Structure formats: C-alpha cells, structure tokens
Structure 1
Amino acid sequence: MEKYRKESSLSDEYLELLIKHTLFSGLDKNQISRFIAFAKPYLIELEQGQAARLTGGLSNHLGAVFSGEVIVYGIDYSGNRLLHNHIGSNQTSGTLFSILDYINTQVEVEAKEQAVMLMINRDAIYQVNEALAVIQHRLLVNMIESQRSMFRDLSLHLYCLCQRSIRDKILKILYFFAEQNRSYEFDIPFSREDLANYLAVDRASLSRSLGELKAQGIIDFKKNHFKVLSTQYFQYD
C-alpha cells in the first residue's frame, strides 16, 4: 500500500529536494515551509511498481513529483488504462490533472522507481493570502513556465495518436526522442506495454511493427534502447 497522508510540515531532506523543483524555483526553505503549513498538501510515497489512484477532490490538485519517476495513466469507464505521460522529479503535472478533472476521468500514477510526490490543492495558490502573496505569486509564475513543457508533451501525444498506422506512430515518437536527445541513439522511458498504451495500440501489433522496422534496417533496439539506422525518417535541424 502507498503512504498517502496530509502534511503541514516536511523534513529537511524533502525541503532540500523541493528547492530544486521547478514549481518552487526562486523560493527558499523558509518560504516553502510557510507555504506547506498553509496548503497542507497530501504527501504520496510509492515504492517501485506501486500505484495511487487520484480520484474525487485530488484530481483538481497540482501534482509535483520531487523524487523518482512516475507514469500517469487515465482510467476510462471500463477500467482500461491509457498512458498519458512520464513525469520525472523536475516537472509539474497540474495541467494534466486539471484537464482530466474537467472530463471526469480518473487518474492513476505508478512509480517507475521509488518516488515521492505532493498533491497541492490549487486554491492554496489561486486564492490570495496576504501573508503569502509574494510566495503565491512566485508559484503562479513557475506554474505558467512549467506548463509549457506539459502542453508540448500533450501535443506530442496527440500528434502520435493521429498517425494512421502503427508504423507511423512508432516512427513519429522515435523521431521526437531522437530530436529531444539530439542523437540517433537514445533510451525511451517506456516498457513495451507502456509504449503500446501510450500509442493506443495492441502490444502484439506493436512488437510486430517494431520487428518489421528492424528487419528493414530502419532501426535497431534492445529493450528500451533504440538506434536509428536509416536517418531519412529522422532528420532534425
């Protein structure tokens, strides 16, 4: 079971990690402590492979992963999981949770490795408290800046899903990873099952298409490590 509790204070170890987080950029340890005491966020600690389902009021919270990595899934009415994003310890997931709250979709986060995250009620940032106004303003500025990468990731996901064939979906997402890494050899943060979920395709069909691309000399791969062999599909500026 995941540890899932409301906190009004955090250890020095966690505060040191939060200072480095995008959401709390520009704030010192004392300012972060004051905000935590006011906001009383939920602290979620997950072991590798553990998952936490964020339902009800939590879906309108801002999720800040400040240690480890998690994968964010949307859960449909039939209980099927669709992979939405991979979030490391220097990103905020608030925009994603807000969008999913709007369409009444459940959210589940699963730890790829041991992970710690805060779930912060948006009202603690949006509703001005005179004693914390400077801190809240800094958080709002950081949120706006951090959401640029979230919108980019959402656009990438939609762009991949819009491709007509599994082959094109694979080529498109590998192109983006090559561009992101500025290299034709890179690791992707997804297992085969996660990649199939992300692209909304059957895992067996995904494996077959990957095998065909490998046989055609376009790519080579071992587990989640990929190498582009035919760069005509992957040229970037």
Structure 2
Amino acid sequence: MNTTNIQNHWSPEELAVMQKSKLFSNISKPELITLLPCLNGQKKTYTKEEYIYWAGDTITNVGLLLSGRAHIERYDYWGSRHIVHALQPGDLFGESYAASADSTLNVCVQADEDLTVLFLELPKILHMCRSACPFHARLIDNLVSLLANRNVMLNEKLTYITQHSLQDKILAYLSAESIRQHSAYFDIPFDRQQLADYLNADRSALSSALSKLKAKGIIDFQKNHFHLLIPARRES
C-alpha cells in the first residue's frame, strides 16, 4: 500500500539524488529547497511489483525516482510484456505523456523493488511563478533537454531491436552500455527475463545466444555483470 504523501520533508540522501538528477542540473541545494514547494513536490513509497502508473491513466505530474529501481513497460493485447526502459535513482518518468496534449499513458511503470518517488506537477514546472526565479528558467531548460534525451534513448532501442539476429541485438545493446558507462566491465539493470523482454526475445533463446557469445570469446558475464572481450585471432 502506498504511504501518505510527505511534503517538504526530504532526507539528505534524497536531496543528493535530486541534485544529481538531470532535471535539477545546475540548481543549488538552497534553490532546490525553495523550488520544491512551488512544484508541489510530494513523496510516495511503493513496494516491489506495485504499479506507479497504469496504462490508461491520465497524468499531469512527473515522477523522479529517489531510491530503488523500476521499469517502464508496455503490454500487448495478449499480455506479453515489453520493457521500454529501466529506471534508476535520479531518473525522470512520465514527462513525455504529461507534456502532450493527450496525456493518456500507453505504458505502465512498475516497481522492481521497494522504492520512493518524488512527484512534481508538470504545469508548475513549465510555468514560472510570479517571482520569475532564474533557477526556474534553468529547470525548464533541463526538462527540454530531458525530452530530447528521451527521444535519443528510444532511437537507440530501435537500433537494438532491428538487428538481424538475436546475437546482434545483444551485442548492440551491450556495446552501447559499455560506451555509456565508459568501461568494458559494467552492470546492466536487467535480469535474464527482463533483458529478454527489453530486446523482444524469448528467454531461453536469449540464454542460448549469450552462451554462444561467451564461447566465442566475445563477452563474459556473471548474472548482470558483463565484460566485453576482443576475441583472440586464430593463426591461419
């Protein structure tokens, strides 16, 4: 069950997550504390597997994950799940739908573990208050940047799932994660079933493809920790 909304009461850890988020980039802690009541900031907690948003919901607020993990998911008519995006602390969600003329969701947002969300009213983000604070203008700029980044992220996923083979889909995704995390060693935010749902693949086929890539010396992995390798060249 959701907890009661808690307004204007933020732990140091929660404020640190907000400051590191792209939404509040270049906004100082005093400015952030001033800004949150103007945006009607409200905090809610959810338990594992609980839904934060349901497909069909009409929303005017956006969520910022303060702790825990969640997934943006889409279900087809027959109930098959497709993971659109994994959410980590500091990530924003719901902004594209809340900003559109038709704000009805066609995706769900589900808690992958117990988590806390900061909800903000989008109209209050988009329209500056009478004091016209300069840091509110930075907030609007940050939101526009986030919307652009969301479009890039969706285009990247389209690149993964349109590869010819499942092995190519896996390598395209892992390569992009390696570049994003600036390391050949990295963790992904999915277990096997979730990764299969993200790449629109069957779980057993995914496991088989991963094993073949490991046997070829292209990748190594342990659960959700991966290492990209350069296969040794064979002598002719």
> Which bin holds the TM-score, normalised by the shorter protein?
0.7 to 0.9
Partner residue of 2:107?
Answer: 106
Identity percentage over the alignment?
26
Matches within 5 A, 1:64-83: 64-83=64-83
Deviation per residue, 1:47-76 (Å, 9 max, x gap) = 4x3332314233x43221133332222234
Partners of 2:69 and 2:115 within 8 A in 1: yes
Please report how far the alpha carbon of residue 124 of structure 1 lies from its aligned counterpart in structure 2 after TM superposition: 1.2
Contact 1:68 1:115 in 2 (8 A): yes
Matching of residues 139-178 of structure 1 within 5 Å: 139-178=139-178
Tell me by how many angstroms 1:134 deviates.
3.5
Matched residue, 1:52: 51
In the TM superposition, 1:183-198 aligns within 5 A as 183-198=183-198
2:23 alignment partner, SS class: helix
Match of 1:117 in 2: 117
Computed over aligned residues only, the root mean square deviation of the Cα atoms, in angstroms, reads 2.9
Q: CA deviation at 1:195?
A: 0.4
Distance 1:163 1:190 in 2: 20
Per the alignment, residue 180 of structure 1 pairs with 180
- Aligned amino acid, residue 51 of structure 1: E
Q: 1:160 to 1:95 in 2, by over 3 A?
A: farther
Unmatched segments (≥5 aa) in structure 1: 233-237
CA offsets 1:4-37 (integer angstroms, 9 cap, x no match): x545422353445433433223334454344333
Asked whether the equivalents of residues 7 and 42 of structure 1 are also in contact (C-alpha less than 8 Å), the reply is: yes
**Once the 2 structures are TM-superposed, how far is the Cα of residue 105 of structure 1 from its aligned partner?**
0.5
Deviation at 1:87, TM superposition (A): 2.1
Alpha-carbon distance in 2 for matches of 1:78, 1:37: 42
Aligned length: 228
Paired position in structure 1 for 2:224? 224
TM-score (normalised: structure 2)? 0.80
Unpaired segments ≥5 residues, structure 2: none
1:111-150 CA-to-partner distances (Å, cap 9, x unmatched) read 34x4322222211112332135534322101212334443
Distance 1:53 1:188 in 2: 22
The 3-state SS of whatever aligns with 1:119 is strand
| Alpha-carbon offset, residue 96 of structure 1 | 5.0
**Mapped partners of 2:50, 2:119: distance in 1:** 14
Q: Give the TM-score of the pair, scaled to structure 1.
A: 0.79
CA separation of 1:25 and 1:174: change in aligned 2, threshold 3 A: closer
Counterpart of 1:235 in structure 2 is: none
Larger mean CA deviation between 82-91 and 189-198 belongs to: 82-91
What CA deviation, in whole Å up to 9, does each residue of 1:156-201 have, x standing for no partner? 2111111122111111111112222333332222110110010011
Alignment partners' CA distance in 1, 2:223 and 2:11: 38
- Which residue in 1 is equivalent to 2:8? 9
Shift in CA distance, 188/17, structure 1 to aligned 2, threshold 3 Å: closer
Find the residue that maps to 1:23 and give its secondary structure: coil
Q: Which amino acid aligns with 1:206?
A: L
- The amino acid of 1:108's aligned partner reads V
Given that 1:97 and 1:107 are in contact with CA atoms closer than 8 Å, whether structure 2 keeps it comes out as no
